[in-house]
Chain A
Amino acid sequence: MSTCMTQALNAPQLAACPACAAAPLAEHLAALPQNAKIMLSLPQIHCAACISDVERALLNVEGVTEARVNLTLRRAAIEAAPQITAQDLTQLLQQAGFEAHELDADMLSTTQADTQSRDLLMRLGVAFFAMMNVMLLSVAIWSGADGVTRDMMHWISAAIAIPAVIFCGRPFYVSAFWALRAGRLNMDVPITLALVLALGTSLFETMQSGQHAYFDAAIALCFFLLGGRYLDHRTRAGARSAAQELAALDVPRACRLRDGIEERVLAAELCLGDLVRVKAGGRIPVDGVVREGRSEVDRALMTGETLPAFVQENSSVSAGEVNLTGSLVIETHAAGRDTALHKIAELVAAAEAGRGNYTSLADQAAKLYAPGVHILAGVSAVGWWLATQDARIAFNIAAAVLIITCPCALGLAVPAVTTAASGRLFRKGMLVKNGTALERLSEVDTVVFDKTGTLTLGALQALDLQTLPDGAKRVALGLAQASSHPLAQAVSKGLQGLGVRPSAVTDLSEKPGFGVEGDWRGKTVRLGRAAWVGAQGGDVTATYLKIGDAEPLAINFTDTIRLGAAQTIAALKAQGMRVVLMSGDTEGSVSRLANALGIEDVQAQVLPAEKAARIAALAQAGGKVLMVGDGLNDTAALSAAHVSISPASAVDAARSASDIVLMGADLSVMLDALGTAGQARRRIRENFAIATIYNVIAVPFAVMGLATPLVAALAMSSSSITVSLNALRLR
């Protein structure tokens, strides 16, 4: 099993951990099917033994009729009796040692993507079959068959190639039709024209017992272009399904109180006025007002603030915030689409409309190329007609020019490179969601970072603990161990790290929203909020320790810096990029982090709408901005930026707004993405150059009427293969 172990270390961590479960944007989850398939995400499976173990464990459960693991997608599809819940199965697999999460089967909607890719693959198969047969028949013609034999070969080729081209080329015809209807020219217009003209003139030539027919070229063209299309589709479908999977990981449920009875319902089913209980550690599913209980809420994802806010009866809370200490009962004022979360969605839509339309390299090439070949073919046809007064020759020449110049290599140039580059980045733990993201990434000259959750992990670390008096340290640890509040946990972790032993604090009680209180040698001791212990709070995240009547002692906190953050920023600056830190948090904590990481350009207390506006301003000034962020407050900025990256721990709105998702915790893989993007752009340009050189060499032959079908077949295949091989150098 040693190979299994090493693979475990190398295996890309596809799905996020349960702690990364994102905010409940639950509106699309109408209802879970009652006894349909259960889908589980299994991010850690990687070998034959895993497949067997998981399937055996699942099939051993009474009521499970079918279980099949898909290793490519790292998923399991299970058919089971209605009484079996996904939760039972995830627990079972957890016990067997496999991390498992429930996936929302509705949201995955894999069927559509699957049928599309199956459809392309089928057309590719038909094109391959037809191409091989026609090529074999053509060998006879190339090697000098003439007379009746040649005509027979042509007729058989026609019988195979014409239906095959009509069937296989459908994606091109459809796309060309829509482009022409919209009054545009895309790559598919010259492709369609070349196919139609090639088949038409070849059929006519065959009827006239002519010498040259281009059936082999037409079907080979179809095959290579479909190959490019299929590669493109697979890369995008893979990334899209993984991104969907991240979103589907979060099946938001809420605990509704009705006549004093608690029931678990989908967050989408909550209505106005429903009472919802949110336990300590839970995420608030609705906008509303607290009716019972006291606690502190963490608003970091919504605003970027690291300091938890105190809430009690009649305080308002909004969806997406995390309840930290006490249990709360919340009266729903807005649920689903009406929550504050959705106001952010409006901002995103506005920002997307403002982002200038990016013209991809392929589109740029098509813009130059499509009119160019049509003019060239037209001019040579007219020229030959004037010279010979023979329409048959003129059409033959036009068809030859269109086939020779047909963008086989151009059609493969971009998808082959993006497939190779995305594959390489996927192995390093990055998900490229957008086809043009890598091109855009290579143009970046300004990088804007969010603070909380992006440059930092959002996990707090206590500062200067060793400067506390010894007695105070021991009391603080005694108190802190009694609480699950993140600040208390950070204190207890820090003190245990210093080797402190807790003193015996008795009568411990947690006051939700305030802190922990206890009795130590007859004195009341408290650890908690500034106001509660009678201290003056600053703008730094802090908790206070009060022993008896003594002056309260402050314990300050700082956010843990994300792995690789410092290295990333240093490298970006060394590459001459402008690095900006833009956060919604307070001045003090933002500038401290900026100093630690060496960022000079700092903007604190920025509102979500302002973030997007500032990014737009940077773009107006000519900057190509890369935005890296994770919070809901970053979502609009992520869509406004030229290109955007978010970590897997980000809320799902942020992940869906960004072009690239980092699956691991390390930020420095971002540098790999930048490097690979630069290389990919170079390869795409090289591929365009190769395709152009082939055309420059071959087109004069075609225009002069020297292009035989053999020359066309050679030029086409060799340029396509060269381009694909050049792209593979990226892997």
Chain B
Amino acid sequence: MGILGLLIPISLGLGMIGLLAFFWALKRGQFEDPDGDAYRILRKDYDERPKP
């Protein structure tokens, strides 16, 4: 049973990391243009160097 004291906080912490990542993505506007982002990942424009 003692292991629960370790596992529950760990699972909650992992979930919290996911939630924070979601907040970050939301704040960065990653849900504004789902259609465009699906295509953007396939283009080669900034393969050589990042966008200035």
A121→B43 contact, CB < 8 A: no
Is B34 a contact of A72 with CB atoms below 8 Å?
yes
One of A129-137, A375-383, A467-475, A582-590 contacting the partner? A129-137
Determine the chain A residues whose CB is within 8 A of the CB of B35 once the complex forms. 71-72
State the CA gap A48–B44 with chains docked (Å): 10
Q: A122-B26, A129-B18, A133-B15 are in contact. Are A72 and B40 (CB under 8 A)?
A: no
**A565 is an interface residue with CB less than 8 A from chain B:** no
Does the CB pair A70–B33 fall under 8 Å?
A: yes
Please report which residues of chain A, range 62-91, place their CB below 8 angstroms from some CB of chain B when the two chains form the complex: 69-73
Does A149 interact with chain B (Cβ within 8 Å)?
A: yes
CB distance from A71 to the nearest CB of B (A): 3
Which of these, A52, A70, A71, contacts B45 with CB under 8 Å?
A: A52
> Given A72-B34, A129-B15, A133-B12, do A47 and B39 touch, yes or no (CB 8 Å)?
yes
In Å, the complex CA distance between A52 and B36 comes to 11
A71-B33, A129-B15, A132-B15 given as contacts; is B43 within 8 A of A118 (CB)?
Answer: no
Contacts of B8 in A (CB 8 A): 137, 156
Q: Which B residue's beta carbon lies closest to that of A122?
A: B26
Q: How far is the CA of A160 from the CA of B16 in the complex (A)?
A: 11
Contact residues, B27-52 vs A (CB, 8 A): 31-36, 39-40, 42-43, 45
Chain B hits for A137, CB < 8 A: 8
Q: In the docked arrangement, what's the CA distance between A246 and B46, Å?
A: 34
> Total A-B residue pairs with C-beta atoms closer than 8 Å?
55
**Does A73 contact B23, Cβ atoms closer than 8 Å?**
no
Asked whether B18 lies within 8 Å of A73 as measured between CB atoms, the reply is: no
How many Å from the CB of A315 to the closest CB on chain B?
Answer: 50
Cα distance, A72 to B31, chains bound together (Å):
10
A486: Cβ under 8 A from any B Cβ? no
Q: Known contacts A51-B40, A51-B43, A136-B11: does B19 contact A125 (CB below 8 Å)?
A: yes
Chain B interface extent, by class: 20 to 34
Interface check A126, CB cutoff 8 A: yes
**Bound CA–CA A133/B16 (angstroms):** 10
Q: A51-B40, A72-B33 are in contact. Are A125 and B45 (CB under 8 A)?
A: no
How many residues of A are counted as interface, with CB atoms below 8 angstroms from the partner's CB atoms? 26
Which residues does chain A contribute within 8 Å of B22, judged by CB atoms? 125, 129
From B15, B33, B36, B42, residue with most partner A Cβ within 10 Å: B36
Is A114 touching B43 in the complex (CB atoms < 8 A)? no
Determine the main DSSP class of B at the interface with A. Answer: helix
A118 touches B42 (CB 8 A): no
Interface positions, chain A 9-63, Cβ under 8 Å from B, are 47-49, 51-52, 56
Which chain B residues border A73 with CB–CB below 8 Å? 33
Judged by a CB distance under 8 angstroms, whether B1 is at the interface is: yes
A125 touches B32 (CB 8 A): no
Determine if A121 and B39 form an interchain contact, defined as CB atoms under 8 angstroms apart. no
Hey, which chain B residues are within 8 Å of A48, CB to CB?
Answer: 39-40, 42-43
Complex CA gap A156/B7 in Å reads: 13
Q: Is the CB of A51 within 8 A of B15?
A: no
- Chain B residue with the shortest CB-CB distance to A117: B31
Q: Which residue of A lies closest to B25 (CB)?
A: A125
When the two chains form their complex, are residues A121 and B33 in contact, meaning their CB atoms are under 8 A apart? no
**Alpha-carbon gap, A71 to B40, bound state (A):** 10
**Given B16, B23, B32, B33, which contacts A122 in the complex, CB threshold below 8 Å?**
B23
Residues of chain A within 8 A (CB-CB) of B43 are: 48-49, 51-52
Q: Are B32 and A114 in contact (CB under 8 A)?
A: yes
A71 CA / B42 CA spacing, docked (Å)? 14
Are B23 and A51 in contact (CB-based, < 8 A)?
no
CB distance from A245 to the nearest CB of B (A): 15
A442 to chain B, nearest CB (A): 30
Q: What are the residues of chain A within 8 A of B12 when measuring CB–CB? A: 133, 160
User: CB-nearest residue of chain B relative to A140?
Assistant: B4
Residues of chain B within 8 A (CB-CB) of A156 are 8
Chain A hits for B42, CB < 8 A: 48
- Least CB separation from B42: chain A residue: A48
Question: Assuming the A-B contacts A51-B40, A71-B33, are A149 and B1 also in contact, with contact meaning beta carbons closer than 8 angstroms in the complex?
Answer: yes
Complex Cα gap A137–B33 (Å) = 36
How distant is A129 from chain B, measured CB to nearest CB, in Å?
4
Contact, CB under 8 Å: A72 / B11: no
Q: For window 216-235 of chain A, which residues contact chain B by CB distance below 8 Å? A: none
Give the docked Cα–Cα distance between A661 and B8 (Å).
Answer: 53
Q: Report Cα–Cα, A71/B39, bound state, in Å.
A: 9
Contact residues in A for B26 (Cβ distance below 8 Å): 118, 121-122, 125
Measured between alpha carbons, how far is A133 from B8 in the docked complex, in Å?
Answer: 9
How far is the CB of A588 from the nearest CB of chain B, in Å?
49
* Interface hits, A98-152 → B, CB 8 Å: 114, 118, 121-122, 125-126, 129, 132-133, 136-137, 149, 152
Q: Please state if A51 and B19 are interface contacts (CB–CB under 8 Å).
A: no
When distances are taken between beta carbons in the complex, the residues of chain A under 8 Å from B23 are 122, 125
Contact with B along A609-636 (1 / 0, CB 8 A): 0000000000000000000000000000
Shortest Cβ distance from residue B12 to the other chain A in the assembled complex, whole angstroms:
6
A126 surroundings in chain B (CB, below 8 A): 19
The reply to whether B36 and A72 contact each other, CB–CB distance below 8 Å, is yes
Complex Cα spacing A132 to B11, Å: 11
Kindly name the residue among A49, A73, A114, A125 whose own CB sees the greatest number of chain B CB atoms within 10 A: A125
Cβ distance A72 to chain B, nearest Cβ, rounded Å: 4
Q: Contacts A136-B11, A137-B8 given; 8 further ones with Cβ under 8 A?
A: A48-B42, A48-B43, A56-B45, A69-B36, A121-B31, A122-B23, A126-B19, A152-B4
Give 22 CB contacts A-B under 8 Å: A48-B39, A48-B40, A51-B36, A51-B40, A52-B45, A69-B36, A70-B33, A70-B36, A71-B33, A72-B32, A72-B34, A73-B33, A118-B31, A121-B26, A122-B26, A125-B23, A126-B19, A129-B16, A132-B15, A133-B15, A149-B1, A149-B4
Q: What 8 A-B pairs are tightest by C-beta distance, nearest first?
A: A71-B36, A48-B39, A72-B35, A129-B19, A70-B33, A71-B35, A48-B43, A125-B22
B positions within 8 Å CB-CB of A: 1, 4, 8, 11-12, 15-16, 18-19, 22-23, 26, 31-36, 39-40, 42-43, 45
